[in-house]
Amino acid sequence: MSRPLILITNDDGIHAPGLRNLVTFMLPLGDVVVVAPDKPQSGMGHAITISMPLHMQKVKKSHEHSEYSCSGTPVDCVKLAIDKILPRKPDLLVSGINHGSNSSVNIIYSGTMSAAIEGAMEGVPSIGFSLLDYSYDADFIPAKPYIHAICKKVMGEGLPLNTCLNVNFPIMKDGLINGIKVCRQAMASWKEGFDQRKDPHGRDYYWLTGVFENRDFDPDTDEWALQNGYVSVVPVHYDFTAYQSMQQIKNWDLNV
């Protein structure tokens, strides 16, 4: 039987250490094709490119795997890979490993997770991996056995329809992890503002700033898991319908 076909992408760019580590981790598990942005695309969410053409360049082709860089967003990468590059629908899509957590509300802004969500929308079992360490020199090696275990289980068991996984790794002190927790997304948010400055021509410009505020400390959340040394695994469903609110809205008198 043929080996599984694994598509890898990210939002930090094709040269990011997190992606380079993920490629190494995936090679023993299947035939690997990388399609990743040619530059960092963090915070792009589920953006797609519609106002300009996309360009792709083959950057590596070997007996082990092939790699392509794309001028677009992470979601562009997934769409192009499935439509133009891969010989068939992949058995697994993995996105990351992101430099920094994508827990809680961060999933909404994350290009890493949007790529995984796009994979799920295409009917591909998909996982986004992130590490709670923003350093360029972050140590991804302790995550390897957990990534292998999760990927093997997903390829063997599949995932529920319209669902992908958001997997976050804690900062690993001495390479130690306490285990894995399947949990929910914490209810947290960013308290944001804009730092206003002047350019050399006297014109105003702005830098977005913010402080992450977690108000949800229950032990069944991803934030609790990460702060206590666990890998958090959150099943993510891209159906945004608030089913619990439907009856209340139906009871409104909306006749005009």
CA distance 215 to 94: 30
- % of residues, the chain, pLDDT over 90: 85
Q: Could you read off the pLDDT of 79-119 as tens digits, one per residue?
A: 999 999 999 999 999 999 999 999 999 999 999 999 999 99
- The reported pLDDT for the residue numbered 1 is 56
Strands 5-9 and 31-37: parallel
For the chain, list the domains and their CATH numbers.
5-186+218-250 (3.40.1210.10)
CA angle 191/193/198 to nearest 5° reads 165
Task: Spell out the alpha helix ranges (H) of the chain.
Answer: 17-26, 74-80, 106-109, 111-121, 144-157, 222-227, 246-250
Q: Could you read off the pLDDT of 167-190 as tens digits, one per residue?
A: 999 987 776 899 999 999 999 888
Give the 3-state secondary structure percentages of the chain, helix then strand then coil, rounded to 5: 30, 30, 40
116 with 233: CB under 8 angstroms? no
Q: What is the pTM of this model?
A: 0.93
